[in-house]
Amino acid sequence: MDRRVEIEQINKEEFAEMDEQKWVYDSSLDHKGRVPLRASTGVWKSSLFIIMIEFAERLSYFGIATSLIIYLTKILQEDLKTAAKNVNYWAGVTTLMPLFGGFLADAYLGRFSTVLTSSVLYFLGLILLTMSRVVPSLRPCGNEVCDEPRKAHEAIFFLAIYMISIGTGGHKPSLESFGADQFDDDHPEERKQKMSFFNWWNFGLCSGILVGVTFIVYIQDHVSWALADMILTAVMAFSIVVFCIGRPFYRYRKAAGSPLTPMLQVLVAAIRKRNLPCPSTSAELYEVPKSEYARGRLLCHTGKLKFLDKAAIREEKGRSAEEAENPWRLATVTKVEEMKLVINMIPIWLTTLPFGICVSQTATFFIKQGMTLNRKIANGFEIPPASIFVLAAVGMIVSVTIYDRILVPILRRATGNERGINILQRIGIGMVFSVTTMVVAALVERKRLSVVQESPLKTSTSMSVFWLAPQFLIIGIGDGFTLVGLQEYFYDQVPDSMRSLGIAFYLSVLGAANFLSSFLITIVDHITAKTGKSWFAKDLNGSRLDYFYALLATITAVNIGVYAFVAKRYSYKSVQRKITVAVADCYDAEDGATAAKV
């Protein structure tokens, strides 16, 4: 009799395993609201549509962003300091808006709907931008360059680019997390493929940047800004059509309600039970069966931030069952661990800000430096100043490709980690490259200033623009480590119900860094002006950007030590993974290693 029961149990397990190979049981749905069929949905067949759209969106964004400081100084006649601040403010808003867009996607709209809605808004912003350069009454003036541009043009221009910022706020976090959702975390092969997804996502992103800062920037510089805007508007319209074509192949996740409410419930429950002793084992803490948990995967208990564990202690005495299980008095272990995950991210987020400040210089001062140098190459062709940014994209493409195709397989065998090295190590490596970038940039700028002093015309046009190549290439390589690492980190380590918001956290590093860069410029300008000569004069030749770059190198180098201290003490998400019908384990979601039996 026992033998028959054992055989039936084995058959059930084999059937369950075959069923999970055919269908995707990770809370996702197909476009008709059914459980997705693994063979016809998700993975690369759907994510390639999404990467193509990211290519188109980044082409449009960087076609605007890399030339923005040139437009502000050349067409709108702003001085260097004001233009740099305006670029930083716009970039800051663009990369902080995803916090709002990611929240809406996770809580209410769903990722697909958020991407579609924000893409339409982005498209409308591009139409308005085109109108500001085509409609006679809205153009800057009668000529391409004028001493005093029309106020109507400035108003419509800034309204258009900030409308694009808002569109990016919903598009960017939702699209990337939607792409990563196409891979099943509980399927070993798909989990490995998802690690490559972030690398190839950035490959597509950088390819879009390449076209944006070459083809689009060339048209802006040599033909007209209006024609470039028309092309960008057409590209965005095409990307929306492509996104809709891929609809039958996508895997969708339902909006799970506000992810902030459960965290607030944990905090309130822990404070209410603050006088209770912490339990000696995690078995004494409350958790629901996996089949009843709809917000994502169950998490395993960790030993950090023990005060929050009190939220999961059952109060048996003096309370009715309904009152004792009120979510404002009792939280599950998973909800407590989700709260811990978010708290543990704060030090990582803070210590990556100096890297973001270094990155923000590429779209402002680096581009402005390129305008002062000799940009002529063979046959007298003159490179548009913003096109030098292509070297950063090349550096990122090369580093991501080498890392994914060569380094990861080697490191997997050496470390036993599915990723090769852990996420925080990858981020730290990129930070070292950012310090190197600032040191090289300071030396190149000092060289440029010496050429200016020696030139009879007080210009640096005898110096080739390719002197800037090393700093662009090095920061691009650093991006291939740190920016891709941050994307993986904030997607993987947030609660499953907050993954769009997780990508927004990554983008907010760059957004906050842009505002910090503007604030730092203001502070340094104020302090150095008191000494008799500001580091930021009206033009580049009267400024001392070499000193500013050296300051950034020093700040970032000191910060790496703080980051290493924080990263060494970080605990990765530990997830319950089902092995058979009756058995589960805890595994480290960062590298797939088994942590403990439950």
DSSP secondary structure letters along 237-257: HHHHHHHHHTGGG--EE---S
Alpha helices in 75-110 (DSSP H): 80-104
Statement to judge: residues 411 and 456 lie in one domain: yes
Q: Which residues of 500-536 are buried (b: 16+ CB within 10 A; e: fewer)?
A: bbbbbbbbbbbbbbbbbbbebbeebbeebeeeeebbb
Q: Which two tokens stand for residue 170?
A: 């919903």
pLDDT at 145: 57
Q: What angle do CA 472, 476, 480 make, to 5 degrees?
A: 175
**124, part of any domain:** yes
The answer to which of 6-20, 286-300, 433-447 has the lowest mean pLDDT is 6-20
Contacts of 542-547 with C-beta under 8 Å, sequence gap 24+, read: 543/80, 544/449, 545/365, 545/369, 545/441, 545/442, 545/445, 546/441, 546/442, 546/443, 546/445, 546/446, 546/449, 547/442
Tokens of 438: 């600032």
DSSP code for 407: I
Q: Rounded to an integer, what distance in angstroms lies between the CA atom of residue 370 and that of residue 453?
A: 18
Residue at a domain's end among 304, 339, 374: 339
Q: What is the pLDDT of residue 2?
A: 57
Going by pLDDT thresholds of 50, 70 and 90, the confidence category of residue 317 is low
Q: pLDDT tens digits, residue range 227-258?
A: 999 999 998 998 899 889 989 999 998 887 78
Residue 66 pLDDT class (50, 70, 90 cuts): confident
Q: Which pLDDT belongs to residue 596?
A: 38
Q: Cα 286 from chain centroid? A: 35
Q: With DSSP H G I counted as helix, E B as strand and the rest as coil, what are the percentages for the chain, rounded to 5?
A: 70, 5, 25
Say if residue 272 is in the same domain as residue 250.
no
C-alpha span between 407 and 416 (Å, rounded): 13
**Residue 292 neighbours by CB distance under 10 Å:** 9
CATH assignment at residue 465 = 1.20.1250.20
Residues 250, 277, single domain; the answer is no
Lookup: tokens for 162? 């900030």
Q: How far apart are CA 563 and CA 352, in angstroms?
A: 8
Q: Is the pLDDT of residue 333 over 60?
A: yes
Considering its fold, how many domains does the chain have in total? Answer: 2
> Could you tell me if 104 and 200 lie in one domain?
yes
Q: What is residue 19's predicted lDDT score, i.e. its pLDDT?
A: 61
CB distance 252 to 30 below 8 Å: yes
Let me know if residue 31 belongs to a domain: no
Distance CA 53, CA 171 (A): 10
Phi, psi of 587, rounded to the nearest 5 degrees: -135, 150
Task: Please give the C-alpha separations between residue 203 and each of 291, 315, 351, in angstroms, as whole numbers.
Answer: 38, 52, 26
- pLDDT value at 334 more than 80: yes
Task: Tokens 């490959």: give the residue.
Answer: 203
What pLDDT, in 10s, does the model give residues 121-167?
999 999 999 998 888 888 887 555 566 777 888 889 999 999 999 99
Which residues have C-beta within 8 Å of that of residue 44, sequence separation ≥ 6? Answer: 193
Residue that wins the pLDDT comparison between 145 and 10: 145
Residues 192/418, Cβ–Cβ less than 8 Å: yes
Considering only residues 474 and 1, tell me which one the structure prediction assigns the higher pLDDT: 474
pLDDT at 580 over 90: no
- Mean per-residue pLDDT of the chain: 83
Residue 579: predicted pLDDT: 44
Q: Beta-strand (E) ranges in 107-155?
A: none
pLDDT digits (tens, 9 = 90+) for 25-38: 777 888 888 888 88
Question: What does each C-alpha distance from 258 to 270, 283, 325, 575 come to in angstroms?
Answer: 20, 28, 20, 22
What is residue 498's DSSP assignment? Answer: G
Locus of tokens 């339409």: 120
Per-residue tokens: 362:
């590429």
* 113 inside domain: yes
137 Rama sector, left if φ>0, alpha if ψ -120 to 50, beta otherwise = alpha
Is residue 286 domain-shared with residue 236, that is, in the same domain? no
pLDDT of residue 595: 41
Above pLDDT 90, what percent of the chain? 22
Range of the domain at 64: 43-255+352-574
Of the candidate ranges 121-135, 250-264, 553-567, 583-597, the one whose mean pLDDT is the lowest: 583-597
Q: Tokens at residue 582, please?
A: 């009756």
Would you say 545 and 445 are in contact if contact means Cβ atoms under 8 Å apart?
A: yes
228 shares its domain with 264: no
Q: What average pLDDT does the segment 168-183 reach? A: 86
Is the pLDDT confidence value at 587 over 70? no
Are 245 and 264 within one domain? no
Q: What's the rounded mean pLDDT across residues 185-193? A: 81
pLDDT per position as a tens digit, 519-545 = 998 899 989 988 878 898 877 888 889
Q: Using an 8 Å Cβ cutoff, are 445 and 453 in contact?
A: no
Query: Which residues, 6 or more positions from 95, have their beta carbon under 8 angstroms from its beta carbon?
Result: 507, 508, 509, 510, 511, 514
Give the pLDDT of residue 550. 95
What digits encode the pLDDT tens for the residues 543-558? 889 999 999 999 999 9
Q: Which residues contact 62 (CB under 8 A, 6 or more apart)?
A: 208, 209, 212, 213, 216, 389
The single-letter DSSP state of residue 285 is B
Q: Does residue 29 belong to any structural domain of this protein?
A: no
Copy the structure tokens of residue 155.
């108003």
Q: What is the pLDDT of residue 589?
A: 55
Residues 421 and 535 reside in one and the same domain: yes
Do 145 and 289 fall within a single domain? no
pLDDT at 18: 59
- Judgement on whether residues 308 and 283 belong to the same structural domain of the protein: yes
From residue 217, how far is each of 58, 150, 280 by CA, in Å?
Answer: 13, 24, 63
Place of tokens 């006679």: 136
Same domain, 272 and 228: no
Q: Say if 544 falls within a structural domain.
A: yes
Q: Are 575 and 280 in contact (CB under 8 A)?
A: no
Instruction: Detail the DSSP E strand segments found in 43-136.
Output: none
- CA 156-209-138 angle, to 5 degrees, is 15
Q: Is the pLDDT of residue 417 over 70?
A: yes
Q: What is the pTM of this model?
A: 0.77
246/269 same-domain check: no
**Interatomic CA distance for residues 113 and 110, integer angstroms:** 6
Residue 454 inside a domain? The answer is yes
Integer CA distances (angstroms), 198 to 176, 259, 423, in order: 9, 24, 12
Which residues are registered as beta bridge partners of 464? 374
Q: Name the amino acid, one letter, at 294.
A: A
Strand duo 584-588 + 28-29: pairing: unpaired
How far is the C-alpha of 567 from the C-alpha of 563, rounded, in Å?
6
- Sole residue written with tokens 């965290």: 263
